[in-house]
């Protein structure tokens, strides 16, 4: 009788896991509806949409449910709960139009508390010569522009069952700063994510809502006009009626507020082959941004003895503007070197941007 009761309980648990899995899949399919609208150009702080990690980029950005390295701080903060060692990552990207993008991330697990992480994002463009209507060919003066974001993350595994069911949650709070010459904008935002191991084979489901925060606005001294003093210069200092002279006054251009580029990500990950020496993982992410149509990202990663990896991915834009999308194929390689108790990782990614040519990424990681 005890055996029968145990069998019934096991079947019940599997049914519950299957029901939850089907529910998440239905949400996944709902999130990638092809009848999408586009709001291109309605959000600012676009540098927040450049994802870090050469590994993730070579997977086509499909990482919401995989989320097993320190760059998960960006993709799904709940994922850093899977880290077993203190981890560090540095990503350098030669972005479009000679823009340079760098991302540093650090996370460490703390027993009985959770996993703490931090990241710094920095993007800068080449110095540009200032032009005016009077001097359209250049004034001899130059200006610079750069963006940065600093974040703190926390993740914790809420529970784990013998059947393999796990649930983790994570949050990432960030401070955002943008600078163009002497004008700047500041803001704050949070990312909230969950990661669910279904217990059915190796299926994982991840969800993350990114860049939720108040709108930002640019301000600075160059938006102010010069001082104007009323009076006719032809009469010099003569003021027959001084009480009617207007005082000095200033004018300032008003800039409009802009929302942050928020995004809802729903991902699936599944190990198609896991035979010890060989690991082949398929990952899918559906993205619903507030300033564009939906995107479906697909990636595949093959590991040989957890030492060398080959990766590939593709980014599909859904909706009516998919024919004009420049993003598509991504490829990459990775290697892990065991240095005693430390693991050194090196990853490379190539992304095809069509008429905008290619983007190359290199990431260096360390676990200790």
What is the tens place of the pLDDT at every residue in 98-157?
Answer: 889 999 999 999 999 999 999 999 999 888 888 888 888 888 888 889 999 999 999 999
pLDDT band at 83 (very low <50, low <70, confident <90, very high): very high
Looking at per-residue pLDDT, the higher value among 254 and 106 belongs to 106
Residue 127 has a pLDDT of 87
Which segment of 49-53, 92-96, 176-180, 284-288 scores lowest on mean pLDDT? 92-96
Tokens of 83: 């880290």
Whole-number percent of the chain with pLDDT over 70 = 81
pLDDT higher than threshold 90 for residue 19: no
pLDDT higher than threshold 80 for residue 8: no
Nearest of 91, 58, 59, 100 to residue 73 by alpha carbon: 91
- Separation of alpha carbons 105 and 267, rounded Å: 22
Nearest of 215, 195, 197 to residue 206 by alpha carbon: 195
Residue 4 has a pLDDT of 44
Residue 298 has a pLDDT of 97
pLDDT band at 246 (very low <50, low <70, confident <90, very high): low
- Separation of alpha carbons 86 and 221, rounded Å: 44
Contact status, residue 286 vs residue 298, Cβ threshold 8 Å: no
pLDDT higher than threshold 60 for residue 9: no
Going through the chain in order, the beta strands assigned E by DSSP cover 87-94, 100-110, 114-124, 128-129, 142-143, 145-160, 166-180, 183-197, 204-212, 263-274, 278-289, 295-304, 308-317, 329-339, 342-352, 358-367
State the chain's mean pLDDT as an integer.
85
Contact status, residue 295 vs residue 310, Cβ threshold 8 Å: no
Q: What is the mean pLDDT of residues 49-67?
A: 95
pLDDT higher than threshold 60 for residue 1: no
Q: In this predicted model, what pLDDT tens digit does every residue of 316-349 receive, in sequence order? A: 988 666 556 678 899 999 999 998 889 999 999 9
Residue 356 has a pLDDT of 79
Residue 126 has a pLDDT of 86
Residue 321 has a pLDDT of 60
Contact status, residue 108 vs residue 115, Cβ threshold 8 Å: yes
- The CA radius of gyration of the chain, in Å to the nearest whole number, is 26
Residue 38 has a pLDDT of 58
Looking at per-residue pLDDT, the higher value among 257 and 36 belongs to 257
Whole-number percent of the chain with pLDDT over 90 = 60
- Separation of alpha carbons 131 and 24, rounded Å: 53
CA dihedral 52→56→62→68, nearest 10 degrees, is -100
- Separation of alpha carbons 191 and 259, rounded Å: 15
| Secondary structure percentages of the chain, helix, strand, coil, to 5 | 20, 45, 35
Residue 228 has a pLDDT of 41
232 phi and psi angles, rounded to 5 deg? -90, 120
Residue 357 has a pLDDT of 79
Contact status, residue 338 vs residue 367, Cβ threshold 8 Å: no
Contact status, residue 190 vs residue 214, Cβ threshold 8 Å: no
Q: Which residue matches tokens 């217990």?
A: 199
Residue 11 has a pLDDT of 40
Q: What is the mean pLDDT of residues 247-271?
A: 86
Residue 25 has a pLDDT of 53
pLDDT higher than threshold 80 for residue 12: no
Q: Which domains does the chain have, with CATH numbers?
A: 2-367 (2.40.160.40)
91 phi and psi angles, rounded to 5 deg? -115, 130
Nearest of 339, 341, 343 to residue 87 by alpha carbon: 343
pLDDT higher than threshold 90 for residue 164: no
pLDDT band at 248 (very low <50, low <70, confident <90, very high): low
DSSP letter at 23 equals H
Q: What is the mean pLDDT of residues 8-33?
A: 50
Q: Which residues contact 97 (CB under 8 A, 6 or more apart)?
A: 125
Tokens of 117: 């992480």
pLDDT higher than threshold 80 for residue 199: yes
Looking at per-residue pLDDT, the higher value among 94 and 251 belongs to 94
Beta-bridge partners for 120: 104, 150
Q: What is the mean pLDDT of residues 26-39?
A: 51
pLDDT band at 210 (very low <50, low <70, confident <90, very high): very high
């Amino acid at each position: 009788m005890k055996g029968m009761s145990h069998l019934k309980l096991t079947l019940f648990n599997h049914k519950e896991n299957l029901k939850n899995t089907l529910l998440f899949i239905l949400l996944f399919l709902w999130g990638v509806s092809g009848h999408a609208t586009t709001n291109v150009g309605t959000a600012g702080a676009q540098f927040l949409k450049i994802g870090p990690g050469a590994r993730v980029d070579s997977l086509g950005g499909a990482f919401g449910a995989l989320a097993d390295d320190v760059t998960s701080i960006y993709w799904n903060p709940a994922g850093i709960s899977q880290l077993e060692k203190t981890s560090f990552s540095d990503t350098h990207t030669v972005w479009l139009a000679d823009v340079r993008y760098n991302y540093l991330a650090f996370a460490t697990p703390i027993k009985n508390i959770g996993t703490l992480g931090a990241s710094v994002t920095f993007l800068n463009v080449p110095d540009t010569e200032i032009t005016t209507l009077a001097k359209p060919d250049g004034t001899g003066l130059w200006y610079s522009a750069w963006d940065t974001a600093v974040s703190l993350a926390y993740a914790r595994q809420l529970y784990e069952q013998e059947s393999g069911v796990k649930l983790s949650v994570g949050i990432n709070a960030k401070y955002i700063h943008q600078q163009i010459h002497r004008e700047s904008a500041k803001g704050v935002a949070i990312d909230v994510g969950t990661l669910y191991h279904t217990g059915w084979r190796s299926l994982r489901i991840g969800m993350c809502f990114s860049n939720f925060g108040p709108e930002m606005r640019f301000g600075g001294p160059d938006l102010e006009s010069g001082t104007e003093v009323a009076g006719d210069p032809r009469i010099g200092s003569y003021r027959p009626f001084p009480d009617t002279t207007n005082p000095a006054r200033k004018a300032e251009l008003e800039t409009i507020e802009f929302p942050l580029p928020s995004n809802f990500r729903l991902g699936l990950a599944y190990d198609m082959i896991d035979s010890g020496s060989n690991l082949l993982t398929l990952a899918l992410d559906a993205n619903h941004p507030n300033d564009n149509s939906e995107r479906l990202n697909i990636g595949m990663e093959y590991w040989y003895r957890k030492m060398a990896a080959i990766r590939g991915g593709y980014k599909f834009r859904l909706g009516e503007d998919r024919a004009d999308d420049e993003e598509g194929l991504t490829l990459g390689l990775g290697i892990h070197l065991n240095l005693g108790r430390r693991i050194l990782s090196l990853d490379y990614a190539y992304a095809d941007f069509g008429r905008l040519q290619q983007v190359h990424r290199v990431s260096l990681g360390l676990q200790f």
